[in-house]
Amino acid sequence: MNNNDSSDQSTHFGFRKVAAGEKARLVADVFNSVANKYDVMNDLMSLGVHRLWKRFTIEMSGVGAGQKVLDVASGTGDLAAAFAARVGGGGWVVATDINNAMLARGRDALLDRGISGTMSYALANAERLPFPDNYFDCVSIAFGLRNVTHIAAALAAMRRVLKPGGRLLVLEFSKPLAPLRPLYDAYSKFLPWLGKAVAGDAESYRYLVESIRMHPDQETLKQMMSDAGFGHCDYYNLSGGIVALHRGYKL
């Protein structure tokens, strides 16, 4: 479906083929544009169901008191906040994002909710995580993996920072089951219009639709996780496969 070898000289940005070194900047432009309306658009686009997808992810994480969690591409911090409640005062949650506008939005949102003592923040590329080996009990990435330039490199980086026995959770748009595809296709054509009406930005939401189309399907991503060295890999289709939660363990 797509090639994520870090030696590639080109990659995709939506349906466009671009130089690999350009994708991070182009993705940053998208999220700089949508940061202020990000949460509103998430609620509108999913009719609020994204909150249930994230709740399921937290339940499947197995995270408990005193553990260390890394939330990659944390955005406005929904997962990070829920993990902070789980780890309690003896644990630690690190929220990272490659985009400073999104990271600042997430930090401000969590501070407004009184979440501070168990949190830290880092501006970081998912492919080059600035953390020690074998450090975290759990790593999560929600709706961010499709935006990285080299998925295989990001998976390898997330595995490196996990402790043996630690788990990776990838929540991402995926390939809907066949009966849903016609309706899903029709809805996808509506999203750029919604982005224009609410966020004043049709192009960023056109990229959203295209990036979902280019992202590996459920079985392909499961194999990529296995190839990256994760064991016991599985996935759960949510909302008929519109979204899937993949989970793997560092053996």
Q: CATH number for the domain including 72? A: 3.40.50.150
Instruction: Pick the more confident residue, 194 or 163.
Output: 163
Residue 197: inside a domain, yes or no? no
Count of structural domains within the chain: 1
Residue 149: inside a domain, yes or no? yes
Residue 108: inside a domain, yes or no? yes
Q: Is the pTM of this model over 0.85?
A: yes
pLDDT, the chain, mean? 93
Sort strands 136-142 and 243-250 into parallel, antiparallel or unpaired.
Answer: unpaired
The b-or-e profile of 21-43 (16+ CB within 10 A means b, else e) is: eebbebbbebbebbbebbbebbe
Q: Are 86 and 63 in contact (CB under 8 A)?
A: yes
Give CA–CA dist 126/128, Å, rounded.
Answer: 6
Residue 58: inside a domain, yes or no? yes
pLDDT digits (tens, 9 = 90+) for 107-143: 999 999 999 889 999 999 999 999 999 999 999 999 9
**C-alpha distance across the termini of the chain, in Å:** 27
pLDDT mean over 51-76: 97
Residue 230 has pLDDT above 60, yes or no: yes
